[in-house]
Structure 1
């Protein structure tokens, strides 16, 4: 029986499926009449075949890779402070910065190799140099940077202790030029070491890393500066820590400002930063970084060693919390298809308009 026949025979007033809904849905619609139309379109859901994510989430170990990101930034920025201390006659600032850079980059490389599983895999990355690959470029930067920090730290140590029967003054005079050259060369590569990992993350398909590619290097640069200044404040004499205090303020401002700008420009892919464990880590990072910068300025006025130590601890911990928060947010965004599908649809819509 057609819809017109139903109207003539009194079996219904309209066409089935449109004006004359039946079953449980009809009852719901009658009950909701007067409160607005019920949406006929279900909420969008994002899934892929067999319920698997659109992207394979990163298989990197959190402790290894987030630690690698953090320690690399600490090393690179510490080399800049070491060079500044060297050039301005602040040995109490230059010495801990040199040793900190060497120690941090050693631990960073160890974390990277541990995640790779075998040292041979890191060496395999050096078989070619590919300028379009952040991983390839970063590997070669590390190979050039690490020996320079070791040389700077070794000559610093040689100038303080007796070596093979020579007096400290003789050793210091013999290796001073070599140590200065290594320190300055490491400082040239320091900014790249501190920020190339942000480019590495942004070059992946992980939504919350990729969509932040404009500001993430600045976030990592500020975080690295804050961490390096924290180490210097904790180890250097207050009278020579002026550059570290100024670096702490600059790094904290850059980190917090760039991160907020990044989240505003990322759209939906910024959501993982404000959910779950990344939210806790990043909120803690903000609080620690602000507190550390304030204590750094206060330590310059009070000349109190305890305040400087507290500032250093807050800045170091805040920088670490940022790197771990960014890492976990990226993993979470890869697990949810929505953060991959929605930005793609938005880009297609813009292209079609």
Structure 2
């Protein structure tokens, strides 16, 4: 007889059951309506399916801590590019400069984190070999690449200004006015898609928490990006030019709290547990508190340099905790089959209660 690692999960066999090479159990042979009448059929109790030996139903993504770092930094970069464009058209040179440099720095470090998770740089380049509009990863890779070009060009103009036009650009210097305007607008246009596509990418997976929140997750991520970029500008820019940053930070904080509340309410109550309990629950509660504190600080004390800096740190911390918390909740939800099976059962019961019996799901009628 062979043994298996799964033997410990098997229920004990009833006494009297016929074993191969052994004697028959005493008593009259039983037959079932499903048998052929010529052999004994095992009598098994009705069981309720949960998962195969209690194993996870879906496979958790093999992503490390670099991915939530990229989610956070991508949002900072997108929001900063949008803020820089606003500063450019409202003639706030220091806010424009700091926001452009922040956008390039954030997307640069975020891209390094993404490549570190991929393992080899050429894997990211391979994703640019094709463009598939139905694939969030393909579309997102192109958004990231093209955004980086615009953000890099706009930041290069700022570096040239900071060095007193001493960069060795040669004949390219005549193009700087065009790059100054075009690069900034290009990065600003792609800023919101950069902040949102990662939410679409997560929601498109089978991971229970992310999939259950796919409708609200883009609003959470975009609001979080606005909050973080506004907070970073409050931290790096003198208060006499931070009025647009204060507005963006407050709108982002309010939107983040509101969208998170709606997301929690609309999710399946079982799956929503992953956002409320344990380490993730603490992270998301702290994120909400920091968002409220940072938003109030931006409104009431944003003209005071110290208060503005503290508010900016709170808003950045809130955004980071939101991204890391949602990421961790998704990973944990994939490990427990309960978060996959119970919502499926509830959705099936709702369809049957509505009289839908001709779909593709097999059920006992």
**Mean CA deviation greater in 337-346 or 47-56:** 47-56
RMSD across aligned C-alpha pairs, in angstroms?
2.0
| Contact kept in structure 1, 2:54 and 2:337, CA below 8 Å | no
After superposition, the C-alpha distances for 1:76-117 in whole angstroms (9 at most, x for unaligned) are 011110000001111121111100000101111111110010
Measured after TM superposition, the shift of residue 56 of structure 1 is 1.2
Q: Which secondary structure state, in structure 1, belongs to the residue aligned with residue 292 of structure 2?
A: helix
Q: Which whole-Å CA distance do the structure 2 matches of 1:345 and 1:46 have between them?
A: 10
SS at match of 1:159: helix
TM-score by length of 1: 0.83
Question: 1 CA distance for matches of 2:177 and 2:301?
Answer: 31
Kindly report which structure 2 residues correspond to 1:271-350, keeping only aligned pairs within 5 A, or say none.
Answer: 271-300=273-302, 303-350=303-350
Q: CA deviation at 1:65?
A: 0.5
What's the CA shift for 1:164? 4.2
1:118 is matched with 120
Could you say if the C-alpha distance between residues 45 and 219 of structure 1 is closer, same or farther in structure 2, counting changes exceeding 3 Å?
farther
In structure 2, the residue matched to 1:147 is 149
Change (3 A) 1:121 1:153: same
Cα distance, 1:253–1:172 mapped onto 2, change above 3 Å: farther
User: Once the two structures are superposed, what CA deviation does each residue of 1:8-45 show, in whole Å capped at 9, x if it has no partner?
Assistant: xxxxxxxxxxxxxxxxxxxxxxxxxxxxxxxxxxxx98
Counterpart mapping for 1:145-184 below 5 A: 145-164=147-166, 175-184=176-185
Structure 1 residue 202 and structure 2 residue 206: aligned?
no
What is the match of residue 129 of structure 1?
A: 131
User: SS of the residue aligned with 2:329?
Assistant: helix
2:187 aligned residue: 186
Structure 1 residue 299, shift from structure 2 partner = 2.6
Q: What displacement does 1:298 show?
A: 2.1
Is the partner of 2:245 in helix, strand or coil? helix
Q: Which has the higher helix share?
A: 1
| Shift in alpha-carbon separation, 1:252–1:164, aligned structure 2, 3 A | closer
- Cα 1:64–1:46 shift into 2, 3 Å: farther
* Aligned residue number for residue 15 of structure 2: none
Q: Where does residue 76 of structure 1 map in the other structure?
A: 78
Give 1:205-244 correspondences, 5 Å limit. 205-244=206-245
Offset at residue 143 of structure 1 (A):
1.1
Residues 251-274 of structure 1: CA deviation (Å, up to 9, x unaligned)? 011111011111111022111000
Task: Verify: 1:54 aligned to 2:57, yes or no.
Answer: yes
Partners of 2:283 and 2:174 in 1: how far apart? 47
Unaligned runs of 5+ in 1: 1-43
The Cα shift of 1:349 comes to 1.5
Determine the C-alpha separation between the residues in 2 that align with 1:324 and 1:165: 39
Kept in 1, the 8 Å contact 2:115–2:124? The answer is yes
8 Å CA contact 1:46–1:337 kept in 2: the answer is no
CA contact (8 A) 1:226 1:248 kept: yes
| Distance in 2 (alpha carbons) for counterparts of 1:209 and 1:184 | 32
How far apart are residue 51 of structure 1 and its match?
3.3
Q: Distance in 2 between matches of 1:146 and 1:231?
A: 19
